Structure 1
Amino acid sequence: MRIINSFTEGFKIALGALRTNKIRSILTALCIIIGITMVTIVDSVTTGMDITFEKSMAMMGQNVVYVEKWPWGMGGGEYKWWEYRNRKEMDIDYVEKIRDYSRYASNVTAAANRGTSIRYQEKIAEGVGLTGATANYLSIQGLNIADGRMFVQEEIHSGSKVAVIGNTLKEALFEIENPLGKQIRLGGQRFTVVGVLEKQGKFMGLEDTDNRIIIPISAYGQIYGLRSGLQIGVQFPDQASFRQGEYELEGIMRRIRQLDATEENDFALNKPEAFKKQLEGMKAGIYAVGFILSGLSLLIGGIGVMNIMFVSVRERTKEIGIRKAVGAKSWEILTQFLLEAISICLLGGVIGVALAGGLTILINQVFVAVMNVSVVILGFSICTIVGVIFGFIPAYRAAKSDPIESLRFE
């Protein structure tokens, strides 16, 4: 019972000391606040990246290899752009050849992408992602139609001016109107909206994938041509066939390109998995910078706590003598000052977590950040550890002080 009463009394005295010296306590906790804010923000950003990653990868399709002129440049090492630029472009005829030659591919599509502006009556949407694609493009990308339909093969053969739009583009141009059947202007020509895509969200928290429009690749070619920038997507039914199909696809492309055995590939096989390596590198960089800065802040904050606790012990030397004179044990004095050090650190933790919460909301508007309960618990645990480590020596000195000398102190 005495132990509980001692802890309770020590905590009350600690809180009283904080209230008496509010400004000093907050200034002392400033570096703790910075450190806890940094730790929480780093965790929130990396957690948000992890949550967004799987969804973003689904936007690029499952078990898909993209055949292109240019590699994505995410595998590390030197990016030999001067060699890649001399490669031949992809050809739309490759789609049928890959489909005929491959034993593993379940789906083969072609697409070309660029930015454009779209007009509907007096409204204009800028910076829209335009895709000219084959009719099976949605299945390889894991996209679904929310309203209307996707264009069909016959419309591609006839070069029909039809379009499927994303949710952001729908809201920008049509607001509450039903866009189906409406005509929009693209590249100086009129297109009829036949479908609206399900909302996808942002790719890796950055690019708005709903600000897009998909048209038949034949219509795209009529306006912009298909001489460059063509991307061929090859999908496999499962992971096992994906691994085998990747090697088969390389052989098929070498055969199509008529490359000799000694010649290097003049094409790139790009896989969405490359983003995972890039993500891990980004996370490692964020963790390294964040935790170095956090560690320095907490170290400086801990030294500040130790310093202020020495000052507090000196200021209350007579109080320590009186408490010892009326029967307080050394461990009770030790506990009192440890609780005071911990309280200062926890004050910094509370303010730091609150600041991190506000910053997480702001960061999430432009990137991705999600705060979870575990990092809040971690933050308060760190505060307690810092308080114990850096508050122990001053508290120990107070506990071991001579009561007679303490009573004489002025």
Structure 2
Amino acid sequence: MLIIRLILESFRFAWNALRMNLLRTTLSLLGVTIGIFAIIAVFTLVDSLERSIKDSLNFLGTNNINVEKWPYGFGGGPYPWWKYLQRPHPTFDEYEFLQENVKNAKGISIFAVRGGITAKYNSSSSMDLDLVGVVHGHKDVYEIPIIKGRYFTPQEDQAGRNVVILGHRPASELFPDQNPIGKEIKVRGLKYYVIGVIKEEGDSFLGAPTNDENIYLPYKSFLKVFYSGQRRGVGSRITVKGLDKDIGLVELEAELRGLMRKKRALKPKEEDNFALNRPEAIANFIGSTFDVIGLAGWVIGGFSILVGGFGIANIMFVSVRERTNIIGIQKSLGAKNYFILFQFLFESVFLSVLGGGFGILMVWLLSFISLGSLELVLSFSNIALGLGVSAIIGMASGIIPAAMAARLDPVIAIRTQ
């Protein structure tokens, strides 16, 4: 009961200080408001950018390891491309070998992509598409949300039948007013029967690839159009999806390295002539970049918060001087030191949180501004961070004035005019 009364009384004093000295208090809180706005705005922008970029990288899959010719260049240091240029591309024979021998995998796929493709149906055409040759197990590694028709059968995969699954754009451009299932389209002069249509994904941030631009067909059917050999033609990629229990895919990576070295007959002292790439390496690189931006937000906002903290401390020193007589009366009536201390400390925290709240409100209003495909979202964690930092600043700014008020001698304080 005492605590509730103390809070209400402290709130009343804080509100009176704000109301009676509105201009002074507003100018003092402006530093906290700007500081919290700067920090939370940067964090919100960073979080939104990072989320949008990582969402746009969903086409790379999760919990996967890619067996490729070229390694990702995120490790720092020189990138000896001339050495990697001599490496062979993964082959269908190596895919079958891994499929038979890998134990720590949910699924395995080999696929190849060729861009700049034009598909035709009667007088209609859809240009600048990606032709993607995949095996039947591709659906176990990557998500292919089919809304019409079906996926390839194992028989169609093995025989390399001329069947295709269309992304949203070719389906809508070639068949705007009819069901494409069962229709015949032409790609590079060859006829293909449409057996499925993929759900629309929409534009991704930074223009990353989506299924909307793709035409999927069996891998062996793809080879009829484009040679996917070891050193020339369209390079293939083998992707292996790891088991959930294999934390960090440590076992899968070791198994893949051993099997690939065995298949390519590499001697113990020879370097790998293949790369085991992890899609999360890109996300980690992006995350480390945004950490630097977040640090810059702390530095920029920190100066404003420092100024605001001194402003609040000034308000509290003035408040102690103006209410010295009241403090003496309270202590003479039995108020304990901690009661006075808490009273002024609460007032300081309240004023600081009020300033931080206005800063967060400004960020929330900023999130309604349209930034194209980037959606700004003020998360609960950033709101809590802003209010928490404000409370800490208020406590640090008010602790010395509050301690001074708590240590006042009641007799001397009452006599003060």
TM range, smaller chain: 0.7 to 0.9
User: Is 1:323 equivalent to 2:356 in the alignment?
Assistant: no
Tell me, which stretches of 5 or more residues in structure 2 are unaligned? Answer: none
SS class of match (1:343): helix
More displaced, 45-54 or 190-199? 45-54
Aligned partner of 1:111 in structure 2 is 111
More displaced, 132-141 or 24-33? 24-33
Rounded Cα–Cα distance in structure 2 between residues aligned with 1:148 and 1:340 = 66
Q: Relative to 1, partners in 2 of residues 1:5 and 1:263: Cα closer, same or farther, differing over 3 Å?
A: closer
SS class of match (2:33): helix
- Select 1:250's aligned residue among 254, 257, 262: 257
Contact 2:133–2:221 at 8 Å: present in 1 too? yes
Rounded Cα–Cα distance in structure 2 between residues aligned with 1:174 and 1:336 = 72
Aligned partner of 2:395 in structure 1 is 388
Pairs within 5 Å for 1:139-158:
139-155=140-156
Aligned partner of 1:137 in structure 2 is 138
SS class of match (2:136): coil
User: Is 1:300 equivalent to 2:307 in the alignment?
Assistant: yes
SS class of match (1:194): strand
TM-score normalised by L of structure 1 = 0.73
Rounded Cα–Cα distance in structure 2 between residues aligned with 1:234 and 1:294 = 45
Pairs within 5 Å for 1:264-275:
264-275=271-282
Q: Deviations over 1:192-220 (max 9, x none)?
A: 43213356789899836343422333454
Paired amino acid for 1:393 = I
- Select 1:231's aligned residue among 237, 256, 269: 237
Q: Per-residue deviation at 1:285?
A: 3.6
Contact 1:156–1:217 at 8 Å: present in 2 too? yes
More displaced, 104-113 or 331-340? 331-340
Q: Per-residue deviation at 1:335?
A: 5.6
Contact 2:146–2:196 at 8 Å: present in 1 too? yes
Q: Deviations over 1:331-390 (max 9, x none)?
A: 677666544433331222212222333455669965576544454344323322211221
Aligned partner of 1:281 in structure 2 is 288
Pairs within 5 Å for 1:41-56:
42=43
- Select 1:356's aligned residue among 352, 355, 363: 363
Aligned partner of 1:82 in structure 2 is 82
Q: Relative to 1, partners in 2 of residues 1:177 and 1:406: Cα closer, same or farther, differing over 3 Å?
A: farther
Q: Per-residue deviation at 1:127?
A: 6.8
Q: Relative to 1, partners in 2 of residues 1:15 and 1:150: Cα closer, same or farther, differing over 3 Å?
A: same
Rounded Cα–Cα distance in structure 2 between residues aligned with 1:34 and 1:187 = 59
Q: Per-residue deviation at 1:68?
A: 0.9
Q: Per-residue deviation at 1:135?
A: 2.8
Paired amino acid for 1:141 = Y
Q: Relative to 1, partners in 2 of residues 1:53 and 1:192: Cα closer, same or farther, differing over 3 Å?
A: same
Rounded Cα–Cα distance in structure 2 between residues aligned with 1:112 and 1:229 = 6
Aligned partner of 1:193 in structure 2 is 194
More displaced, 2-11 or 207-216? 2-11
Q: Per-residue deviation at 1:4?
A: 5.2
Q: Per-residue deviation at 1:268?
A: 0.9
Aligned partner of 2:96 in structure 1 is 96
Aligned partner of 2:18 in structure 1 is 18
Tell me, which stretches of 5 or more residues in structure 1 are unaligned? Answer: none
Q: Per-residue deviation at 1:266?
A: 1.4
Aligned partner of 2:69 in structure 1 is 69
Pairs within 5 Å for 1:113-128:
113-116=113-116
Q: Relative to 1, partners in 2 of residues 1:138 and 1:18: Cα closer, same or farther, differing over 3 Å?
A: same
Contact 1:206–1:366 at 8 Å: present in 2 too? no
Aligned partner of 1:215 in structure 2 is 217
Contact 1:164–1:197 at 8 Å: present in 2 too? yes
Q: CA RMSD in A?
A: 4.7
Percent of pairs with identical residues: 30
Contact 1:28–1:344 at 8 Å: present in 2 too? no
Q: Per-residue deviation at 1:300?
A: 3.0
Paired amino acid for 2:132 = T
Q: Relative to 1, partners in 2 of residues 1:334 and 1:244: Cα closer, same or farther, differing over 3 Å?
A: closer
TM-score normalised by L of structure 2 = 0.72
More displaced, 174-183 or 343-352? 174-183
Contact 1:320–1:406 at 8 Å: present in 2 too? no
More displaced, 342-351 or 233-242? 233-242
Q: Deviations over 1:162-185 (max 9, x none)?
A: 332345776787678644345667
Q: Per-residue deviation at 1:102?
A: 5.3
More displaced, 33-42 or 364-373? 364-373
Q: Deviations over 1:219-259 (max 9, x none)?
A: 54455543133112245667569755544433443344343
Work out the number of aligned pairs and report it: 401
Rounded Cα–Cα distance in structure 1 between residues aligned with 2:204 and 2:372 = 13
Aligned partner of 1:164 in structure 2 is 165
Contact 1:59–1:142 at 8 Å: present in 2 too? no
Aligned partner of 1:31 in structure 2 is 31
SS class of match (2:141): helix
SS class of match (1:231): strand
Contact 2:327–2:413 at 8 Å: present in 1 too? yes
Q: Deviations over 1:42-73 (max 9, x none)?
A: 378559968997997796255x4321100123
Q: Relative to 1, partners in 2 of residues 1:175 and 1:307: Cα closer, same or farther, differing over 3 Å?
A: farther
